[in-house]
Structures are given as C-alpha cells and as structure tokens.
Amino acid sequence: MTDDALGQLLERRVTRDPSSVVTQDVVDAWTAVFGTEWPECVGDVVPSIMYTTFARSLYAPVPGEAAPTGVALHDELKNLLELPVAIAVGYELKLTGMVRIGDQLLSEERIAELGSERSTKFGPGRDWVIEVTSSTTAGELVGVERFRMLGYRPGEPGAAPPRTPQEPAIFAWTEDFTVSTESIRSGAEANHVWAGAHHHTEAAQKAGLADIILDTSSQVARLAGAAQRRRPNDRIVEIDLAMKRSILPGATVTLGGIEDEHTTTVSAVVDGRETSRVTVTFAG
C-alpha cells in the first residue's frame, strides 16, 4: 500500500448504477418478516427504512462466487489495507424522502472517516465510516447512510477490555423474540444481504465468529419496528444503531424501550447483557 493510493481512494466518489426497480413483491417479502406497522405506507409508498434493500443485489451469489457487499469503496479499502474481514459495529440512517413502487434509486458513496491501525479483540485492524447518499432518479433525496465498520486481520487478538457489571436498565416497555438459524437467514434474504456470515456457519467461523449472526439491516428493522409500534402515527426520520456483541442462533432477545419527546431508545439484551442499542428519532 502507498500513501498516494490511499489518498486517492479517500478522495474518490463512486456513483452506483441505478438500483433495481422498487416492486411490490420485494416489499411484501420484507414486511412478511418485519411487519407492516409503518405509518408512511399509504398508497404506493414503501417502508422508509427498507429502501436500502433495493440498492443491493436481488439474488444470492452462485456457489463459489463472493458475496458483494454493495459498497465498492468498502471493498477496495479492505483490499488496499490487507484487512480481509470487516464487520459493522454501528449504523446511522437519516430519512429525508419517500420511496414509491416503480422508483429507482441512484446512490453515491464515499469514505467519510478512516482510523489508525489498532489492536482489536479479533486481531490487528482499523475503523472506518462509509457514507452512502441515495436519491430517486427524479432527483428527490431519500436518505443518507453511515456504516461504522471495523476491518481486521484474523490473528493474534489484542487484550479485550475487562467486563464490567451492568446495572439493569429501567424500561418503559419490553418485548421478546427468539433468534434461530432460519430467522437470521430469512431476515438477511428479505434485506438482500448475502454475506456468508449471515447464511453459512463455515463462513462465519472463518471470520472469527461462533456462528452466523443477525445482520445490521435486520437489527434496524427489529429494534426500530419495536419503537414504531409504540408511536404508530409518527414517522421515523433518523436511526443511530450501535452494535456491541453479535446476536447468534438460539438467543432470546429482550427489547427494552425508553421514551423521550421525539426519540425512543431501544436496547437488545441477551442473557442480561446489552448487545445493541438504537436511538430512533421521530418527526416532531
């Protein structure tokens, strides 16, 4: 790797080809998994938080073909830094427009942040943020995503921070769901997320994981969906998700919510420990 090559990559902007056309059958497959309680869905408007599904490949890769991440600069950065594995540790989404049946989306991506090399619990690695801005082909801004990623080279791990006891949170409400191998796969399929770590145990273990894990988009839909059910008439305009630990098959996940004037914070708790937390902001 040269500094020039890295500098050029950080300056690049990639405009993707138009997405697949937004179709009712894809929306129906998504809502069959994640529910229909989205107040913007009147007429031909689709659930706002699922628009990213259409920017990804409709179909799983054929055997032997690598699963595309859908984010070209992310893949190039991994290769340039020689970090073969990258996982999402956080995700932000700002929703600004409506997506309708028949729309196509245009997206532009850039590397918004790049951290220095450091030791991680998986091996040597670096943090970075990929930002993706999406609009309809008619020019209406739909949303901005920011993927907080950790890339690493599986090997000698750094020291993990000591575990500290967690005080039990006082939630305004709770609900539970059980995670299975099939539910992880069906959620990833509904979101058009084809990375092996969400479908194949062997691929997940090669990445240093115990088994396949719940994907980022499924966590957004599960946690934000729980928040939406408490505010059935308010539209979601922003999501900020932090992921601390993977959610694996066999887990019973308790979702607990804390309400504020325009936000709901939802924690996902497994065996008494928080695995994820999302802050959902609603239109005022």
How does pLDDT run across 101-155, given as a tens digit for each residue? 999 999 999 999 999 999 998 889 999 999 999 999 999 999 999 999 999 988 7
Domain extent for 175:
3-282
Given CA atoms 260, 148, 184, 103 in this order, what sign does their dihedral have? positive
pLDDT value, residue 59: 85
- Per the CB < 8 A criterion, the answer to whether 151 and 143 are in contact is no
Residue 166 has pLDDT above 80, yes or no: no
Nearest 10 degrees: Cα torsion 200, 205, 209, 210 = 80
Residue in this structure with the two tokens 């739909």, named with its chain if needed: 142
Given CA atoms 118, 119, 125, 130 in this order, what sign does their dihedral have? negative
- The token pair at 142 is 């739909």
Q: Give the number of domains in the chain.
A: 1
Residue 76 has pLDDT above 60, yes or no: yes
Run of H or E residues at 103: none
| Least confident interval from 160-174, 191-205, 256-270 | 160-174
Long-range CB contacts for residues 259-266, cutoff 8 Å, separation at least 24: 259/172, 259/230, 264/227, 264/230, 264/231, 266/223, 266/224, 266/226, 266/227
CATH number (domain holding residue 137): 3.10.129.10
184-189-191 Cα angle (round to 5): 100
